[in-house]
Amino acid sequence: MKVLHISHHLGCMRDHAYIYHTLGFQYEFWKFYSGLFKITKDIANTIWNERKDYFNSFDYIVTSDTAPISRIFMENINELKPKVVVWICNRFDYNMESDHSFYEIFNRVSINHKDKFKIIAYSDFESIYCGYKAINDVSEIITPIGINPIELDIKIDSLDALNKNYTDDPNAKLKYNMNSELYNKVFIPIYGNDNHFFNLNNILSSNSIECFNGGYSHPSDLKQCKLMVTFPDAYSKLITFETIQNEIVVFLPSEDFLIQLHPTCNNSRQYWFNNPFGKLNSETIQLCEWYRYKNCRVYFNSIEDLIFKIKTISVEGIEYKKRWCRIYGEEIKNTNLKKWRNIFV
């Protein structure tokens, strides 16, 4: 089996490198053109005409973050030889909301060309959102696995540039040269809620909690950290699963606290959550993957509660959560590898 995976997202490529390697496939990655998210019919056809012999040399083509990349193949289905898997990771219509022709072709292909195209959501939310936009033929839901063997990084196209974009992000206040520099620190990601709505680095540091607030080169580097703190901004992220597989204990706002925060303002910023359905509520928050594997997480009800729980969690408490990471990680791996094996037939 020969597979080409096309994506903007390093996490998606790493997740699938493990899958393809485990399933024994030949595989390549193509980091899609930087900044090109709006895929018109003309752009799709131009790319197809430039690369169609290359595309047709594969048995399968997989597109991930973002799904509009798949339009290249939808527009040229009559010449297309491989089967296409569209793994929806960030709303299938990302940056295409004003292009009605995209909805038409996406819906037509999902209904009439199941022999060639498999539309797969990476979370319950993505499947529901497709239905909300009248795309009703999503084949299955397959979440990320979160296992990223570092030796497979050599397969990733544009790895250095992708890593540099992350570690050099404006929100990355700190950098590290050796993993040991992260030892026993609280990891704060570069996301907006953690750095603008709340300045977590200042809040925790002013309470004598040592932090690392920056981008990381590989998810396994974070094993050195004591724990991670984040305020969710989406229903699912690759790091949700990478933290489980790397046994990183994550501190998160409780469901009630997150509902309370969204969409309030703090530090002249509105709390951001990628939710097209309006304000989060007790029903929609159940779709958030951060609240699915609860035994391996720690939830807090306020900033004061966060500080208290970081300072008082014991070594035994951390190990208990890590044990649940191992249990969940095995379950996630086995369930999703089986699903992917059934997709590539």
pLDDT, residue 138, reads 86
- pTM of this structure: 0.96
Q: Are residues 22 and 62 in the same domain?
A: yes
Q: Let me know if residue 340 belongs to a domain.
A: no
Q: Are residues 6 and 108 in the same domain?
A: yes
Contacts of 105 (CB under 8 A, 6+ apart): 71, 74, 75
Contact 152, 25 (CB under 8 A): no
Q: How many domains does the chain have?
A: 2
Q: Are residues 299 and 222 in the same domain?
A: yes
For residue 87, what are the CA distances in angstroms to 70, 137, 228, 325, 338?
10, 13, 27, 25, 16
CATH number at residue 173: 3.40.50
Which residue in this structure is represented by tokens 């997150």? 258
Residue 217's identity, in one-letter code, is S
pLDDT, residue 137, reads 80
From the list 139, 140, 121, 145, the residue with the least C-alpha distance to 19 is 145
Q: Let me know if residue 342 belongs to a domain.
A: no
Q: What is the DSSP string of 188-243?
A: E-S-HIIIIIS-HHHHHHTTT--EEES--SSGGGGGGSSEEE----SS--HHHHHH
Q: Are residues 48 and 178 in the same domain?
A: no
Distance of CA 119 to the CA centre of its chain: 17
Which residues, given as ranges, of the chain have pLDDT below 70? Answer: none
Q: Are residues 117 and 178 in the same domain?
A: no
Name the residue range of residue 253's domain: 168-333
Domain stop point among 147, 181, 213: 147
Q: Let me know if residue 158 belongs to a domain.
A: no
Q: Are residues 143 and 238 in the same domain?
A: no
Q: Let me know if residue 88 belongs to a domain.
A: yes
* CA 140 – CA 316 distance, rounded (Å): 38
Q: Are residues 136 and 173 in the same domain?
A: no
Q: Are residues 196 and 324 in the same domain?
A: yes
Q: Are residues 72 and 221 in the same domain?
A: no
pLDDT, residue 272, reads 97
Q: Let me know if residue 155 belongs to a domain.
A: no
Q: Let me know if residue 109 belongs to a domain.
A: yes
* CA 1 – CA 140 distance, rounded (Å): 21
Q: Are residues 143 and 184 in the same domain?
A: no
pLDDT, residue 139, reads 77
Q: Let me know if residue 156 belongs to a domain.
A: no
pLDDT, residue 37, reads 97
Contact 21, 149 (CB under 8 A): yes
Domain stop point among 147, 177, 200: 147
Q: Are residues 64 and 188 in the same domain?
A: no
Q: Let me know if residue 287 belongs to a domain.
A: yes
Q: Are residues 29 and 123 in the same domain?
A: yes
Residue 311 burial by Cβ neighbours in a 10 Å radius (0-12, 13-18, 19+): exposed
Domain stop point among 116, 147, 178: 147
Q: How many CB atoms lie within 10 A of CB 240?
A: 25
